[in-house]
Amino acid sequence: MKKNKLFIIFMVFFSIECVAKFEIYDATLYKNKPMLNSFNINSIPIIYETHFFGNNKNIHAIPDNKHIEKIVSGLKNKDYKLIVLDIERWPVRGKIKVVNESLLKYKKVIKIIREAGIKKEVGYYGMLPIRDFWRSIKGEGSKDYLSWKNENDILRTLADDVDVFYPSLYTFYSNEEKWKIYASAQI
């Protein structure tokens, strides 16, 4: 199995001091924001679903190979180490047939990007593991937690095709302790 990396995208700027090397990436879309490189905060490109599909709302659609190549060609010579793909239209939960069809689509997009000569580390935002606040905080031995874990195991083939995981760490609720459990489970 291929060794994957885990990166967390911080969407908010903050100051942090730590002993270990901890990389911070900025994916905010603010206009006229300052250059953060001097603070060791590098930019990271996110290719959103709208870049791939435009206004096409058909959840079964797969972007055209040439269109994907055109989107990523602008990143080839940029000084980015990582690329985030944010496609959330293909379901990764539910009927196994539908999930497997979705996995093939996600894998196809990665394959096209690789064939386009992109040598950066690429991964999907929010796909791995499945974002599920309530089941992920139930405790490792609980029925709900094991169900969530089993759903994530089905996605293992996609995990083998990406270089990086970008888990979703939204704060859905104000309970900080439960969020910490959720965040730990996602990571």
Can you give the pTM of this predicted structure?
Answer: 0.84
The total number of structural domains in the chain stands at 1
For residues 158 and 128, the answer to whether their CB atoms sit within 8 Å is: yes
Q: What does pLDDT average to over the chain?
A: 88
- Output the pLDDT for position 12: 47
Q: Give the distance from CA 99 to its chain's centroid.
A: 17
The long-range contacts involving 97-101, CB below 8 angstroms and separated by at least 24 positions, are 99/154, 99/155
Q: Report the CATH number that the domain containing residue 94 is assigned in CATH.
A: 3.20.20.70
Q: Is residue 54 a contact partner of residue 37, using CB atoms and an 8 Å limit?
A: no
Is the confidence at residue 174, as pLDDT, over 80? yes
Q: Kindly tell me if the per-residue pLDDT of 124 is higher than 60.
A: yes
Band (pLDDT 50/70/90 cuts) for residue 6 is low
Domain membership of residue 163 as a residue range: 5-186
Mean pLDDT confidence for 140-169 = 94
